[in-house]
Amino acid sequence: MDIYTIIFLALAVFIFLRLRSVLGQRTGNERPPFDRTAARNALGGAQDNNVVTMPGKVIDQAPLAPTAEPTAPADRWKELAEPGTALAQGLDAIVEKDSSFDPRHFLSGARGAYEMIVLAFANGDRRALRDLLSSDVYDSFDAAIREREKNEQKTETRFVSIDKAELVGAELRDRNAQLTVRFVSQMISATRDKAGNIVDGSADTVADITDIWTFARDTSSRDPNWKLVGTGSAN
């Protein structure tokens, strides 16, 4: 090995050691990681809320905002449930397991889910229903849609209003929270055969509808969404 080779090797080692002493050190001027949420909010984009906006997002509630003073037990579920009732006790049990649970946010999302599910069923939108329903309820809805398709019938449904969405039941079974909601609405619905003749309902009559639906969620799951697990009607 000649003298020039030795000199070049020594120089290369020296440069490598200098670079290693500099690379990887923080100077305090590094750019922070890109925050997609902050950027979206700064641009005025939509923020997460508690109303269903697309299939797959059923009923999601934001964590309870911190308050200066804790709510007195007697007023905790004011306008939702009377103190000491089974409904109030059920809500207490659910929030004990899931501190982020807020029934008011839940009801806001439930209204959106109710309308979405009714319209998806009328349109035979199985893709939307699969994300919104439990497997048992989905099978029931799917069977009704298949029967309608077999008879070459189509259903037209239009909401006039959702007048009320109120909690009528709350229960915690192990880790599974269940909330039952009474929906009072007005809608126009008609089913037509392949010739366009109405075989059920009316195309111009507003009907008063009362549905009683139960939603459930595993409180130990990281998924914040609720799914429809039971349906009933007071009509």
- String of DSSP letters for 82-118: -TTSHHHHHHHHHHHH-TT--HHHHHHHHHHHHHHHH
51 class by beta-carbon count within 10 Å (0-12 exposed, 13-18 middle, 19+ buried): middle
What single letter denotes the amino acid at residue 34? F
pLDDT at 75: 76
Cα–Cα distance measured from residue 213 to residue 228, given in angstroms and rounded to the nearest whole number: 7
What are the counts of helices (DSSP H) followed by strands (DSSP E) for the chain?
A: 6, 5
Cα–Cα distance measured from residue 36 to residue 38, given in angstroms and rounded to the nearest whole number: 6
Percent of the chain with pLDDT over 90: 62
pLDDT at 133: 97
Lowest mean pLDDT among 4-13, 15-24, 123-132: 15-24
Mean pLDDT for 65-72 is 49
Compare 23 and 235 and report the one with higher pLDDT: 235
Handedness of CA 108, 232, 226, 129 (dihedral sign): negative
What single letter denotes the amino acid at residue 7? I
pLDDT at 233: 83
pLDDT of 70 above 90: no
The tens digit of pLDDT for each residue in 30-67 reads: 333 333 333 233 223 333 333 333 334 456 655 444 44
pLDDT at 27: 39
Mean pLDDT of the chain: 79
Mean pLDDT for 8-18 is 52
The tens digit of pLDDT for each residue in 152-194 reads: 999 999 999 999 999 999 999 999 999 999 999 999 999 999 9
pLDDT at 8: 54
- In angstroms, how far is CA 168 from the centroid of its own chain? 20
Contact 42, 66 (CB under 8 A): no
pLDDT at 47: 33
pLDDT at 71: 56
The tens digit of pLDDT for each residue in 192-223 reads: 999 999 999 999 999 999 999 999 999 999 88
pLDDT at 137: 97
Containing 187, the helix (H) or strand (E) segment is: strand 176-192
pLDDT of 102 above 70: yes
Going by C-beta distance under 8 Å and a sequence separation of 6 or more, which residues neighbour residue 211? 114, 182, 183, 185, 231, 232, 233, 234
Compare 118 and 41 and report the one with higher pLDDT: 118
The position carrying tokens 């089974």 is 86
pLDDT of 81 above 60: yes
